[in-house]
Amino acid sequence: MGVMESGSDATPDTVARFLNQLTAALVERGLVAEAFGARMVWAKNPAADPPGGEPRAMTMSPGLRQSVVCQRDGESGRLAWFWVWSGPTREAPSELEYLCPAEDFNQAANRITRVLRLDHADTGPVA
């Protein structure tokens, strides 16, 4: 699925607002998060980083990280958040999975936080 630029909700300002809202919501939940490029948010759980911050340890064990991208949903035509998953092989492109509408940044932050949790306590079904 490619990024589509047409439509009033796909303006760079609107996408930037969604990126900032999601980034702030993830930071409020204790994650490290930043916007990457014009459409992506990258988040990580710093509690999962290897002790000592040695560069070699970070390369071998990058901790818990997740990327999501904001782009138009092919079914509804509205901006939405999509999980970014690695392809099945090193050469394969990334795969996208629908997460939620872009304006539901709190729902996106809750789900991303659940994926990056360390305790994996059973708190019921994912909303």
Q: Using one digit for the tens of pLDDT, what is the confidence trace for 78-126?
A: 999 999 998 888 888 989 999 999 999 999 999 999 999 877 544 444 4
Question: Is residue 26's pLDDT more than 80?
Answer: yes
Average of per-residue pLDDT values in the chain: 82
Residues in the chain: 127
pTM for the model: 0.78
Q: Please tell me which residue, 56 or 49, carries the higher pLDDT value.
A: 49
| Distance (Å, whole) CA 71 – CA 19 | 11
* 109 SS3 class: helix
**Is residue 48 within 8 Å of residue 58, measured between CB atoms?**
no
**Residue 9: partners with Cβ closer than 8 Å, 6 or more residues away:** 78, 79, 102
Question: Is residue 6's pLDDT more than 60?
Answer: no
**pLDDT for position 126:** 44
Instruction: Report domain extents, the chain.
Output: 8-115
**Is residue 36 within 8 Å of residue 42, measured between CB atoms?**
yes
**pLDDT for position 42:** 94
* 99 SS3 class: strand
**pLDDT for position 102:** 97
Strand ranges in the chain using DSSP code E only, listed in sequence order: 32-36, 40-45, 64-72, 79-85, 95-101
